[in-house]
Amino acid sequence: MKFLDLAKVYIRSGGGGGGSVSFRREKFIEYGGPDGGDGGKGGSVWAEAVDGLNTLIDFRYQQHFFAKSGQQGMGSQRNGRDGDSITLRVPVGTEILDEDQETLIADMTEIGQSVLLAKGGNGGFGNLHFKSSTNQAPRRANSGQPGVERTLWLRLKLIADVGLLGLPNAGKSTFLAATSNARPKIADYPFTTLHPNLGVVGIDGVEFVVADIPGLIEGAHEGRGLGDLFLGHVERCSVLLHLVDGTAEDVAADYATIIGELEAYAEELSHKPRVTVLNKVDALDDDTRAERLAALKEASGGTVLAMSGVAKEGVPEVLRALRAQIDEDRLRHKPDSDEEDAAWQP
């Protein structure tokens, strides 16, 4: 399935049916009086967050969503039928924006959450509605209200607990593949990952979701490389896992590049809880490892862990550091598992 995280849609609610002007005409009933019914209500357009979707690809092939209009009122006091409403099924984590792509209409963060996007028009009154003691034969009826037409943008921000950050080839996809059942494409060239991947990772009897996004390069906020198009997918994360390639010549510069891009994209994103890891340490000798760990600690000003996703060295420690930063209500506990089975196994 292709990944799509931004889609433009056109919606229109149904118009209300017009009221009827009608009079009762039956044999032997001289003064039948008005009997025009009301028009039916137009259908509305709703959005609902559903389970089982993680892309907006369906909206690439259908962009127009029009609800049905209400039927006209009829004689014999018959009201028109209401128009059918329609519902846009979107993944959890979808933001619904107005046409300007800035005004937030709704943020669909929970399964089953629904929001009204365009209300259907009311049906018009028939002439029966206007009958009174002083106007016993009204000859007017209301027309129905028109529907609402809107252009909206759908923007998906994946719901994950941990977001992976790093330069291309920092080992993010290898880490995800080594710790979860996700199978992202892995290769020895930059930009192997072209769209976000999700994986469920387990450690010490709990599970959490990790999101791997395409790597950033210097100038990503200006559109270089794949740009910062996918940084929105880590905005909702509790903690960021910043992987730095230990085989790089200047690990401090690589670290600073990513931090600079985070600050250029959103200041609050750069202040999220972050676990910094020197990756690919299996390819380093002891002296080089110690030297680059020290350089990275100085650049980050905090604790730096050492890890190798390929050799699975230091991975449990990294997972436990991530778990400590995730709120308890977001963790999913494994049912009926003893301590040995619950622990992460390389």
Residue 85, C-beta contacts closer than 8 angstroms, at least 6 positions apart: 14, 43, 44, 45, 46, 67, 120
Confirm or deny that 191 is annotated as ligand binding: yes
To the question of whether residue 309 is assigned a binding role by annotation, the answer is yes
CB atoms within 10 A of CB 221: 17
CA distances from 8 to 65, 107, 184 (A): 11, 16, 28
- Tell whether 282 is in a known binding site: yes
| Residue 166 marked in a binding site | yes
To the question of whether residue 215 is assigned a binding role by annotation, the answer is yes
Helix (H) or strand (E) holding 340: helix 339-342
> Comparing C-alpha atoms, which of 145, 80, 90, 155 is closest to residue 118?
145
To the question of whether residue 156 is assigned a binding role by annotation, the answer is no
279 labeled part of a ligand binding site: yes
CA distances from 309 to 29, 137, 178 (A): 90, 84, 6
Q: Is 194 annotated as a binding residue?
A: yes
310 is in an annotated binding site: yes
Distance CA 176, CA 178 (A): 5
Question: Given its phi and psi angles, is residue 205 left (phi above 0), alpha (psi -120 to 50 degrees) or beta?
Answer: left
Give the contacts of 268 (CB within 8 A, at least 6 positions apart).
none
Q: Is 17 annotated as a binding residue?
A: no
Helix (H) or strand (E) holding 286: helix 286-300
344 vs 138: CA distance, rounded Å: 79
231 annotated as belonging to a binding site for a ligand: no
270 is in an annotated binding site: no
Establish whether 171 is an annotated binding residue: yes
The annotation status of 79 as a binding-site residue, yes or no, is: no
Confirm or deny that 232 is annotated as ligand binding: no
Return d(Cα 318, Cα 280) in angstroms, integer: 13
Query: Hey, is 300 helix, strand or coil?
Result: helix
Buried b (16+ CB within 10 A) or exposed e, 144-159: bbebbeeebbbbbbbb
Q: Is 104 annotated as a binding residue?
A: no
To the question of whether residue 322 is assigned a binding role by annotation, the answer is no
Do the annotations mark residue 8 as ligand-binding?
A: no
Is 133 known as a binding-site position? no
Q: Is 192 annotated as a binding residue?
A: yes
Q: What residues form the annotated binding site?
A: 166-173, 191-195, 212-215, 279-282, 308-310
Q: What residues form the annotated binding site for GTP?
A: 166-173, 191-195, 212-215, 279-282, 308-310
Q: What residues form the annotated binding site for Mg(2+)?
A: 173, 193
